[in-house]
A and B are shown apart, each in its own frame.
Chain A
Amino acid sequence: MSLPLFTTLRRMPARELSRRLFGRFPQAIGYVVLCLGTGLAGLGLFYLLVVTLALCLVGTGFLLLPLVLRLLRRVAEFHRRRVSRILGTEVVTHYRGVDGDTRRPRLSMGDPAVRKDIVWLLAHSILGTTLCVAAISACGGAVNWLSAPLWWRLAPRERDAVIIITVDSWPKAIGAMFVGVVYAAVAAGIVVALARVHALGSRKVLVTRARVPLEQRVQELSVTRAEALDAHDAELRRIERDLHDGAQAGIVAVSLRLGMIKRALKARPDQVPEMVDATQQLAQQALESLRQLVRGIYPPVLIDRGLIDAVRALTALNEVPTSIDIEDDAAAAPRAPAAVEAAAYFVVSEALTNVAKHSGADSALVRLRIGARSISIHVEDDGRGGASEHAGSGIMGVRRRVAAFDGTTELVSPPGGPTVLRVEIPCGS
């Protein structure tokens, strides 16, 4: 199992490697520090809001309320932008607008979006701040250990037990530094994880679904419907083409051979048995291509288990040992359309068939990332490379099927390998 991981690391470009190792940390720590600030400021704002609401009971609060709500909106919008950046997906909310114009928010306590912002403010100030303090103190500990060789000489005698062990000699200081490296790695992981938890939680509270005017909704729907029809159209054409190239051509070829056999029966009957064998093989090929097409239209396993488990099953069954790496970012988003999932499944299935049939590889890797907007697939093997689109490798079928959804297909396969197939299919929503 360690071999594929090793080869993956070895082949990863330096930039990619550093992104993997440190990539998310700077962004995460920035987010955490910022949240600590807005969290503390949020406490003040929340206090202000409570006072204002109390003043509303005697009337004067109504003058102050719009101002406080505008301030709240600013803080919330600012935070939505931070969350968008860290999660890589756009986080937007929908305030009720003046006369239904959502670009001019009315901001009242009756607006569900405003009320959710208030809930967020409280949660962010209390829970969020606690999370951030935990994350930052983890980093502080790491710095403390790491920097032991720098300060242990300077520390006053009675305070030399600053960290768990008493650092009073060079070997101990150097040792502490090494422990610090481990500590730092763990702390970095904690920071990244906490930032993500914070961002995911914030997104949950900060988003209110739009109450879009009916007219606009109808317009949006007709556009997506037209796109869906286009995709459907392309998909039908693909099936027609596959039938044309596969089963239909196969049956015509069988018919042609039978015609030849009929003639041979009179002229050269000794050759007939051999010709019959060849013809039967052709018929079996045609059947096989038909079976594959039917299975490819919508694999039953997708209904039973869903895309992720279906792909897992594919990799587990592959002749070449195949490791798998799945990232599901769309847990909250609706499931991708069935046709898209079927296409994704088909791509992995074709790619793994190729690996088993043509690559001569010892190991392969499937990376599946399911996002809210697209599904990306990365299939890599350590085989001999040199895969081409015209050698009956099925890549043409993959390209065609992916193109039907406006997706992209990229095949990199230099002679000597490795072969990498990258496919991205938009989810069409």
Chain B
Amino acid sequence: MRILIAEDNALLREGLVLLLAGEGHEICATVDNGTDLLPALLEHRPDAAVVDVRLPPSFRDEGLRAVVEARRQIPELPVLVLSQYVERAYAGELLAQSASGVGYLLKDRVGNTEEFLEALDRIAAGGTAMDPEVISQLMIRRAGDDPLSTLTQREREVLALMAEGQSNPVIAKSLFIAESSVNKHIGSIFTKLDLPTSASGHRRVLAVLTYLRA
């Protein structure tokens, strides 16, 4: 697929280009600052964009703002946002539009090549890829009489993986349980949290994330 890379650090940019080109992707553009990012996204309309949150000139959240604006003009443009730190506000802004084709990962994850490439494929296909750190922050936030506290330990684990955007088979594999058990847990979670049980696929992720951010 055609990928646009926005990263100001030359080492990382080159690394990403090497990695993705080596996997047979076409790098349609690389950008090293926030100012050029939005025009580049709109011009190239990549199949997926890998974007650093913090870019020159102001080194704040230029990358994120360009992505949000680009996705306003081209809805559901697949974007994988990389960040040095987990910032709930950033995740919130990204998800505010739509959870479809959105990823938010810690930069460190690029070292786990398989997962990184898999997350990229997932968002390119319209899925979601949320960093486990983000999800755990979203889950910790709630306390006391919160319905989340009625979930069992296992149900919380399933909820977290679901929120990351993982599919049922992947959830089953990473928790070493059968897929049928996953389905059972999900049903139980949706009942306890009073979510629409009919939702499936990305709508399900969306429901979970919306719930967590509420």
Residues in A lying within 8 Å of B, measured CB to CB: 241, 244-245, 248-250, 252-260, 262-263, 282, 285
Contacts and interface: CB of A to CB of B under 8 A. Distances in A.
B200 interface: no
B12 A262 contact: no
B2 interface: no
Given A241-B59, A255-B110, 13 more contacts: A244-B84, A249-B9, A249-B12, A252-B108, A252-B110, A253-B9, A253-B15, A256-B15, A257-B15, A259-B19, A259-B110, A263-B113, A285-B11
A260 B21 CA distance: 11
A253 B19 contact: no
Nearest to A261: B113
B82 to A, nearest CB: 9
B153 interface: no
A260 B22 CA distance: 9
28 contacts: A244-B54, A245-B9, A248-B84, A249-B9, A249-B11, A252-B107, A252-B108, A252-B110, A253-B11, A253-B12, A255-B108, A255-B110, A255-B111, A256-B15, A256-B16, A256-B110, A256-B111, A256-B113, A257-B15, A259-B19, A259-B111, A259-B112, A259-B113, A259-B116, A260-B15, A260-B22, A260-B113, A282-B11
Interface centre among B9, B12, B59, B108 (most CB of A within 10 A): B9
Contacts of B12: 249, 252-253, 256
A244 B54 CA distance: 10
B18 interface: yes
A258 B111 contact: yes
A260 B107 contact: no
Interface SS of B by simple majority:
helix
A201 B107 CA distance: 62
Contacts of B11: 249-250, 253, 282, 285
Interface of B: 9, 11-12, 15-16, 18-19, 22, 54, 59, 84, 107-108, 110-114, 116
Contacts of A259: 19, 110-114, 116
Contacts of A256: 12, 15-16, 19, 110-111, 113
A260 B116 contact: no
3 nearest A-B pairs in the assembled complex, by CB-CB distance = A255-B111, A259-B113, A253-B11
Nearest to B23: A263
Interface centre among B11, B59, B110 (most CB of A within 10 A): B11
Contacts of B111: 252, 254-256, 258-259
Interface SS of A by simple majority:
helix
Nearest to A264: B22
A282 B112 CA distance: 17
A115 to B, nearest CB: 57
B9 A260 contact: no
A420 B15 CA distance: 35
Contacts of B18: 260
Contacts of B54: 244
Nearest to A241: B59
B60 to A, nearest CB: 11
A347 B29 CA distance: 36
A254 B110 CA distance: 10
A252 B19 CA distance: 13
A241 B60 CA distance: 11
A256 B13 CA distance: 11
Contacts of A263: 113-114
Nearest to A279: B15
A248 B18 CA distance: 19
B15 A262 contact: no
A274 to B, nearest CB: 12
A254 B116 CA distance: 15
Contacts of A252: 12, 107-108, 110-111
Nearest to B13: A253
A259 B15 CA distance: 11
A252 B109 CA distance: 9
A282 B18 CA distance: 14
Nearest to B106: A252
Nearest to B11: A253
B208 to A, nearest CB: 28
A285 B12 CA distance: 13
A249 B9 CA distance: 7
B191 to A, nearest CB: 40
Nearest to A248: B84
B119 to A, nearest CB: 13
Nearest to B14: A253
A241 B8 CA distance: 13
Contacts of B59: 241
Interface centre among B9, B15, B18, B19 (most CB of A within 10 A): B15
Interface centre among A248, A249, A260, A263 (most CB of B within 10 A): A249
A345 B146 CA distance: 55
Contacts of A255: 108, 110-111
A259 B120 CA distance: 15
A282 B12 CA distance: 10
Nearest to A255: B111
A253 B11 CA distance: 6
Interface centre among A244, A252, A257, A282 (most CB of B within 10 A): A252
Contacts of B9: 245, 249, 253
Contact of B113 (A241, A254, A262): A262
B7 to A, nearest CB: 9
B203 to A, nearest CB: 32
